[in-house]
């Protein structure tokens, strides 16, 4: 089944009234919440509720003066990102969101006769791209601790494997796969199979000895592509800008497939300014950590089953059918995320501002919950 581009882009991680059932990778299409009742509280897209850095906002305003001009070369941004990560500029691939970087990888490695290996559930965009190319998508369920079942994924890898995708922390579960397990997986994976490690939510992870970024601590594997985005902690989701760090030869292969002028001039300047504002990053991470813990505390009091998320969202398993829960919240002007293949019994709740989360629990408590005591 071919998936319309608009449905794809609007459907990921959003709520919907209906969902097509003819494909395992068909996500719900977003209607227009809030048109009748004002702006909704959006807890479905994992955005930074505090917005971008003031420095990034200033850079955007300044860029407007030259908006009649096409963007200059991406080289200045590639150099800025390279400096930030202490790597070489030739290792940086910039795209229109990390979505475009994933599309580059799909175009480079997913050909007819090849297959994609991913977890279930996980962020499904790469599966959409594979499906559009009539490429087999091999889904492997998560382990009991909700990490990637790398042993099972390894058992499915062979000469027909075009690409492996590991989202860490994983979306929509918010859970981590230990660094050591991924390193062992890379050592045992047959040669020539590229691996994408999606670190979109890296900055939100509470420091732990079992986790380390594959950018900050490279594995020395020439097949590894690590993706990041400015859409989450940097608060630039609306500008659509992301990037990957990869070995130079791999980066060159990906960048050759990028969309010419796909990254706009305002996004370039905003991203460069955002990278330079370490204090805003620190504040965003701290606020999220505090609010995430408060959310988990509230979920625990209600025995709502919140998972130990390491991101800016938490997955809950309600004691009502998900469609009913989503409709109930929608009626009360709150939008939740659901509809991930393999996570049909869960809702994903983005962490908002304190007042927004207070409203979330008020509406949650309006549901006639089962007595769990």
31-45, 172-186, 285-299: which range is least confident on average? Answer: 31-45
In a domain, residue 373? The reply is no
In a domain, residue 165? The reply is yes
Q: What is the pLDDT of residue 370?
A: 66
In a domain, residue 137? The reply is yes
Mean of the pLDDT values across residues 217-245? Answer: 96
Q: What is the pLDDT of residue 72?
A: 84
Clarify whether residues 79 and 180 are in a common domain. Answer: yes
In a domain, residue 327? The reply is yes
Q: What is the pLDDT of residue 275?
A: 97
Which residue segment(s) compose the domain that 41 sits in? 5-51+279-365
Last residue of a domain, one of 227, 247, 277: 277
Clarify whether residues 259 and 334 are in a common domain. Answer: no
Clarify whether residues 19 and 150 are in a common domain. Answer: no
Contact 116, 162 (CB under 8 A): yes
pLDDT tier for residue 82 given thresholds of 50, 70 and 90: very high
Clarify whether residues 94 and 23 are in a common domain. Answer: no
Q: What is the pLDDT of residue 231?
A: 97
Clarify whether residues 37 and 141 are in a common domain. Answer: no
Q: What is the pLDDT of residue 371?
A: 58
In a domain, residue 290? The reply is yes
Clarify whether residues 91 and 165 are in a common domain. Answer: yes
In a domain, residue 241? The reply is yes
Clarify whether residues 179 and 286 are in a common domain. Answer: no
Mean of the pLDDT values across residues 198-224? Answer: 95
Pairing of strands 347-350, 313-316: antiparallel
Last residue of a domain, one of 277, 300, 325: 277
Q: What is the pLDDT of residue 368?
A: 83
Residue 356 belongs to domain with CATH number:
3.90.1150.10
In terms of residues, how long is the chain?
373
277 CB-near residues (< 8 Å, 6+ apart): 53, 54, 55, 56
Whole-Å CA distances, 212 to 182, 198, 199, 208, 249: 11, 13, 10, 8, 24
Residue 210 belongs to domain with CATH number:
3.40.640.10
Nearest by Cα to 79 from 281, 271, 277: 271
Clarify whether residues 120 and 258 are in a common domain. Answer: yes
pLDDT tier for residue 128 given thresholds of 50, 70 and 90: very high
Q: What is the pLDDT of residue 151?
A: 98
Clarify whether residues 171 and 125 are in a common domain. Answer: yes
- Per cent of the chain over pLDDT 70 is 89
Residue 2 has pLDDT above 90, yes or no: no
The structural domain count of the chain equals: 2
Last residue of a domain, one of 277, 304, 334: 277
In a domain, residue 370? The reply is no
Clarify whether residues 346 and 321 are in a common domain. Answer: yes
Clarify whether residues 193 and 312 are in a common domain. Answer: no
In a domain, residue 320? The reply is yes
1-5, 200-204, 257-261, 366-370: which range is least confident on average? Answer: 1-5
């Amino acid at each position: 089944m071919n998936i319309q581009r608009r449905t794809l882009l609007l459907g990921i991680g959003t709520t919907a009234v209906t969902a097509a059932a003819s494909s395992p990778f068909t996500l719900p299409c977003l209607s227009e919440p809030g048109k009748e009742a004002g702006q909704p509280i959006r807890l479905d897209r994992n955005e930074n509720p505090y917005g971008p850095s003031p420095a990034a906002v200033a850079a955007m305003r300044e860029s407007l003066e030259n908006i009649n001009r096409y963007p200059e070369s991406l080289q200045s941004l590639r150099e800025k990102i390279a400096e930030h990560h202490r790597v070489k500029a030739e290792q940086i691939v910039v795209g229109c969101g990390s979505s475009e970087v994933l599309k580059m990888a799909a175009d480079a490695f997913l050909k007819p006769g090849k297959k994609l290996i991913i977890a279930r559930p996980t962020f499904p965009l790469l599966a959409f791209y594979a499906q559009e190319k009539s490429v087999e998508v091999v889904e492997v369920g998560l382990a009991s601790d909700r990490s990637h079942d790398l042993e099972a994924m390894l058992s499915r890898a062979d000469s027909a494997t075009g690409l492996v995708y590991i989202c860490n922390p994983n979306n929509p579960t918010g859970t981590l796969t230990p660094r050591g397990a991924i390193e062992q997986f890379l050592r045992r994976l047959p040669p020539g199979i590229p691996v994408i490690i999606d670190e979109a939510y890296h900055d939100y992870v509470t420091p732990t000895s079992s986790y380390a970024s594959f950018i900050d601590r490279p594995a020395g594997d020439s097949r590894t592509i690590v993706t990041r985005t400015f859409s989450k902690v940097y608060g630039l989701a609306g500008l659509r800008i992301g990037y990957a760090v990869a070995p130079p030869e791999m980066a060159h292969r990906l960048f050759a497939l990028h969309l010419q002028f796909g990254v706009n001039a305002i996004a370039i300047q905003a991203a460069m300014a955002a990278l330079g504002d370490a204090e805003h990053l620190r504040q965003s991470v701290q606020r999220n950590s505090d609010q995430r813990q408060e959310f988990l505390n509230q979920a625990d009091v209600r025995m709502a089953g919140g998972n130990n998320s390491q991101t800016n969202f938490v997955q809950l398993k309600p004691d009502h059918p998900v469609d009913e829960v989503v409709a109930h919240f929608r009626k009360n002007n709150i939008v939740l995320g659901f509809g991930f293949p393999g996570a049909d019994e869960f809702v994903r709740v983005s962490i908002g501002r304190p007042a927004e989360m207070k409203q979330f629990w008020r509406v949650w408590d309006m549901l006639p919950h089962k007595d769990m005591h």
